[in-house]
Amino acid sequence: HAGQINGTTGYEEAAAQGIIAGINVVLSLRRKDPLVLTRDQAYIGVLIDDLVTKGTDGEPYRMFTSRAEYRLLLREDNADLRLGEIGHRIGLASAEAHKRIKDKREQIAGLREQLEKSRVLPSAEMNGTLESFGSAPIRVPITLARLLRRPEVSFADLVKLAPELRLIPSAVGLQAEVEIKYSGYVQRQLEGVERSRKMEKLRLPDDLDYGSVQGLSREAREKLTLVRPRTLGQAARVSGITPAAISLLSVYLKKKLA
Ligand SMILES: Cc1cc2nc3c(=O)[nH]c(=O)nc-3n(C[C@H](O)[C@H](O)[C@H](O)COP(=O)(O)OP(=O)(O)OC[C@H]3O[C@@H](n4cnc5c(N)ncnc54)[C@H](O)[C@@H]3O)c2cc1C
Distance, CA of 193 to CA of 72 (rounded, Å): 12
Domain range spanning residue 10? 2-68
Q: Report the CATH number that the domain containing residue 125 is assigned in CATH.
A: 1.10.10.1800
Domain co-membership, 126 together with 185: yes
Domain co-membership, 108 together with 51: no
Distance, CA of 210 to CA of 208 (rounded, Å): 6
Burial classification of residue 43, based on how many CB atoms lie within 10 Å of its CB (0-12 exposed, 13-18 middle, 19 or more buried): buried
Largest Cα separation within the chain, whole Å, is: 76
Domain co-membership, 210 together with 243: yes
Q: Report the CATH number that the domain containing residue 224 is assigned in CATH.
A: 1.10.150.570
Domain co-membership, 164 together with 224: no
Distance, CA of 252 to CA of 256 (rounded, Å): 6
Please tell me the predicted confidence (pLDDT) of residue 55. Answer: 83
Atom of ligand 1 nearest to the CA of 8: 19
Distance, CA of 48 to CA of 54 (rounded, Å): 10
What distance in angstroms lies between residue 60's CA and the mean position of ligand 1's atoms?
A: 13
Distance, CA of 125 to CA of 116 (rounded, Å): 22
In a domain, 88, yes or no: no
Query: 9: Cβ below 6 Å to ligand 1?
Result: yes
In a domain, 90, yes or no: no
What distance in angstroms lies between residue 221's CA and the mean position of ligand 1's atoms?
A: 35
What ipTM score was computed for the predicted complex, to two decimals? 0.92
Distance, CA of 65 to CA of 110 (rounded, Å): 31
Please tell me the predicted confidence (pLDDT) of residue 2. Answer: 83
Domain co-membership, 114 together with 174: yes
Q: Which tens digits make up the pLDDT trace of 96-135?
A: 999 999 999 999 999 999 999 999 999 999 999 999 999 9
In a domain, 157, yes or no: yes
E-state strands within 136-227: 142-143
Domain co-membership, 224 together with 183: no
For a mutational test of ligand 1's pocket, the pick from 4, 5, 43, i.e. the residue with the most ligand atoms closer than 8 A to its C-beta, is 4
Which residue has its alpha carbon closest to ligand 1 atom 12?
A: 10
Contact yes or no for 5/14 (Cβ under 8 A): no
In a domain, 194, yes or no: no
Please state the domain count of the chain.
3
Percent of the chain with pLDDT over 70: 100
In a domain, 91, yes or no: no
